[in-house]
């Protein structure tokens, strides 16, 4: 588990790439500049860790592209101490970004292999989610609701109702919606039954699957 000057230099370059692509939230950029993304990937991919690309992390899943992580994190408008539900822990990289932003993170993963690996690995780096749950994110985390925000990091064929229902008033759900291609979508809860919806263009994610595995 080494982080070197070379890695730090590559990270700074990645931060500049993200700025050029339009990411402006300084806290998000600082988090990405700080987190050793190469440690979240298999050794075979270490050289690719600071390219703005998604890569395999095992169990047919991917670590999201840095731009996508930055874009979703920016849409959440995270404030310190925000209580955030993450669906799709995966490698834990997005979880680490949320922790760096000062959020209290509750994260769900449906692949047991990834769940075990990541829930052990993140604390070693000093990132402590409030809860890691092995389960089905379609249902949210009812016993911890309501949340300031919910982030979904897999492509959802539809918007799961429980995720909207578990938002505080004023809370934000950031979710890529669609089958082969997803539209990044932000819902803001305006009242108990009122939601504002904003759409932000196309992204590609692995699918949000039902039931745990
Ligand atoms: N944020 C992660 C993205 C991983 S890819 C990262 O950057 O590493 C999406 C993840 O969502 C996968 O790990 C996949 O297993 C998980 N996933 C898919 N459907 C899910 C569901 N219904 N509930 C919880 N996790 C799910």
Residues near ligand 1 with C-beta < 6 Å? 57, 61-64, 87-88, 90-91, 93-94, 108-111, 114, 136-138, 153-154, 206, 208-209
Residue of the CA atom closest to atom 26 of ligand 1 = 88
Question: What does the pLDDT look like over 67-111, one tens digit per residue?
Answer: 999 999 999 999 999 999 999 999 999 999 999 999 999 999 999
| Mean pLDDT within 171-185 | 97
Beta-carbon contacts of residue 42 (< 8 Å; ≥ 6 apart): 56, 57, 58
Question: Could you tell me which residue, 59 or 89, shows the higher pLDDT?
Answer: 89
Question: Could you tell me which residue, 15 or 60, shows the higher pLDDT?
Answer: 15
Which band of pLDDT confidence, cut at 50, 70 and 90, is reported for residue 1?
Answer: low
Look at the pTM and tell me if it is higher than 0.95: yes
- Using the predicted structure, report yes or no on whether residue 200 has a pLDDT greater than 70: yes
Looking from the CA of residue 57, the nearest atom of ligand 1 is 8
Whole-number Å distance, alpha carbon 115 to ligand 1 midpoint, is: 10
Would you put residue 94 in left (φ > 0), alpha (ψ -120 to 50) or beta? alpha
Question: What does the pLDDT look like over 137-176, one tens digit per residue?
Answer: 999 999 999 999 999 999 999 999 999 999 999 999 999 9
Whole-number Å distance, alpha carbon 59 to ligand 1 midpoint, is: 10
Question: What does the pLDDT look like over 120-143, one tens digit per residue?
Answer: 999 999 999 999 999 999 999 999
- What is the overall mean pLDDT for the chain? 95
- Using the predicted structure, report yes or no on whether residue 177 has a pLDDT greater than 80: yes
Residue of the CA atom closest to atom 16 of ligand 1 = 88
Residue of the CA atom closest to atom 14 of ligand 1 = 88
Provide the CA 116 distance to its chain's centre, in angstroms. 17
Q: Which of 41, 95, 110 to mutate to test the pocket of ligand 1 (most atoms within 8 A of CB)?
A: 110
Q: Which of 40, 57, 86, 90 to mutate to test the pocket of ligand 1 (most atoms within 8 A of CB)?
A: 90
| Mean pLDDT within 36-45 | 86
Compute the C-alpha angle 172/173/175, nearest 5°: 150
Tell me the C-alpha distance between 145 and 209, whole Å. 22
């Amino acid at each position: 588990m080494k982080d070197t000057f070379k890695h730090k230099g590559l990270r700074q370059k990645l931060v500049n790439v993200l700025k050029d692509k339009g990411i402006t939230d300084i806290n998000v950029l600082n988090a990405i500049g700080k987190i050793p993304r190469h440690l979240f990937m298999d050794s075979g991919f270490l050289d690719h860790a600071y390219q703005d690309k998604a890569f395999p992390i095992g169990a047919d899943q991917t670590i999201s592209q840095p731009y996508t992580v930055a874009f979703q994190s920016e849409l959440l408008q995270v404030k310190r101490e925000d209580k955030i539900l993450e669906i799709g822990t995966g490698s834990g990289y997005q979880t680490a970004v949320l922790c760096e932003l000062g959020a209290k993170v509750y994260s769900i993963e449906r692949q047991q292999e990834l769940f075990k690996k990541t829930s052990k690995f993140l604390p070693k780096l000093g990132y402590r989610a409030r809860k890691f749950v092995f389960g089905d994110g379609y249902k949210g985390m009812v016993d911890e609701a309501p949340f300031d925000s919910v982030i979904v990091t897999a492509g959802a064929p539809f918007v799961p109702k429980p995720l909207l229902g578990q938002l505080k008033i004023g809370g934000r759900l950031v979710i890529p919606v669609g089958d082969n291609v997803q539209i990044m979508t932000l819902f803001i809860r305006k009242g108990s039954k009122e939601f504002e919806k904003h759409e932000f263009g196309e992204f590609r994610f692995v699918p949000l699957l039902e039931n745990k595995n």
